[in-house]
Structure 1
């Protein structure tokens, strides 16, 4: 199926020009975005994703986004998209700007807003690799979902080169942090533990929902204390004394079955978390 694009009140096909060559999102990555899974023509957890879009936009200094316009675009692309649509992408940039990193004055800014719908092929399991690059937990954009994604492109390309579908990164102080497009959970001693936001990881919507739903259902899932999860805990996954799970908007909750090319076992709490997430997802598409 093709991708459907909406911007500035109208639909576009993938071969039509939508933004200018001097859009600040294109020249310097001055933008933010969100990705939602789509089920039966409905974007999952859209309200939470829009809240995070707003946080990210304000966090990098963009003006308040027009969330009513975003919802208009979402309705338009989902109405036009085919029944096999599985992914919604919302991108907001600083709009026309200088060729350098400085923005136009606020009164001269006109943001670019694009909403896209297209296919997605989620997998119930994940295959991950360790990579030498790190997240900077002290970055100006730590925890924000920005379009400055080049380091993720490099890391996930390395993962695919090695037969995996995701890379797991440390932060600059050697803590377990996140994947390139997912949050990470370590299973050991009968519980699932995910790095705290202070590690520099993104506040993932799936991560957030799993923590909430697990607490309601009595499933042992929690956020780690700062410094509790060192990157070296992945050695425990490799030797079979711990297990790993990834979460994200398209992969949902996905136990890891391969680390660095070697098979590993999905943990029982991870599998139960996966079942719980799918059950609660079916109950409410905008929790």
Structure 2
């Protein structure tokens, strides 16, 4: 299917020119975004995604978001996309602005809202590589889902060149942090542990739901405490003494079957978490 695009109150074709060359999202990556899975023509967990979009916009210093208008744009976009849509992206940028990093005066800012629907491919399992770059947990944008994605592009290119589909990153303190577009869960000691938000990882919606739904189902899943998941825990994964699972809006819950050049078997808790998540997704499209 072709992408269906909504900008400035109306739908556009995939070849339409819809952004000015001085949009701050283009010139300096001044923007925030959300990606939702789409099931049966509806965006999954849209309320949670919009709440995180608002938090990211506030953290970046953008004006308050027109959430009701964005919801209406999502409905219009998905209606036009039809049943083949599997992914929805909502992007809000700083809008037209100076060529430098500073923004236009607050009373003149006109943020740009872009909604795009398109296809998505999901894999039951994932393959990842360790990369040498780190997340800065003390960054001004740590934990925000911004359009400044160059670090992720470089890291993911390294992963794809190695035959993987995700790259894993530590933070500056040597903690396991996250993937370029996923959160991580380590199956170790009879539990599923995910790095705490203090490591600088994104507060993923799938991560959040798995923690909630896992607790409801009696699955031993929780946030790790400080220093409980050092970067070196991946050596345990590579040796088969621990297991790793990735979570994300398109992946859902996806056990790792290869780390660097080592083939791995998914762990039993990882597989149970995957089954649980898929079952709960089918119950409620906006949990």
Secondary structure of 2:232 counterpart? helix
Paired residues, number: 287
Shift of 1:82: 2.8
Which residue matches 1:122?
122
The alignment status of 1:44 with 2:39, answered yes or no, reads no
Extract unaligned runs of 5+ from structure 2: none
Distance 2:75 2:83 in 1: 14
Q: Deviations over 1:165-201 (max 9, x none)?
A: 0000000010000000000010011110000000000
The alignment status of 1:191 with 2:214, answered yes or no, reads no
Shift of 1:216: 0.6
Q: Deviations over 1:26-52 (max 9, x none)?
A: 000000000000001010000000000
Shift of 1:69: 1.1
- Within a 5 Å distance, the mapping from 1:51-90 to structure 2 comes to 51-90=51-90
Q: Deviations over 1:120-139 (max 9, x none)?
A: 00101000000000000000
Distance 1:69 1:148 in 2: 24
Please say which of residues 224-233 and 193-202 is displaced more in the overlay. Answer: 224-233
Distance 2:52 2:62 in 1: 13
Secondary structure of 2:11 counterpart? strand
Contact 1:163/1:261 (<8 A) preserved: no
Which residue matches 2:274?
274
Q: Which runs of 4+ in 1 moved over 4 A?
A: none
Contact 1:164/1:261 (<8 A) preserved: no
TM-score, reference length from structure 2: 0.99
Distance 2:191 2:225 in 1: 14
Shift of 1:72: 1.2
Distance 1:76 1:226 in 2: 44
Shift of 1:143: 0.2
The alignment status of 1:172 with 2:172, answered yes or no, reads yes
Shift of 1:273: 0.2
Shift of 1:261: 2.3
Q: What root-mean-square deviation, in Å, do the aligned CA atoms of Structure 1 and Structure 2 show?
A: 0.5
Which residue matches 1:141?
141
Which residue matches 1:233?
233
Distance 1:72 1:18 in 2: 19
Distance 2:224 2:216 in 1: 18
Distance 2:202 2:159 in 1: 20
Extract unaligned runs of 5+ from structure 1: none
Shift of 1:7: 1.1
Distance 2:228 2:239 in 1: 19
Contact 1:214/1:221 (<8 A) preserved: yes
Distance 1:6 1:205 in 2: 24
Secondary structure of 2:272 counterpart? helix
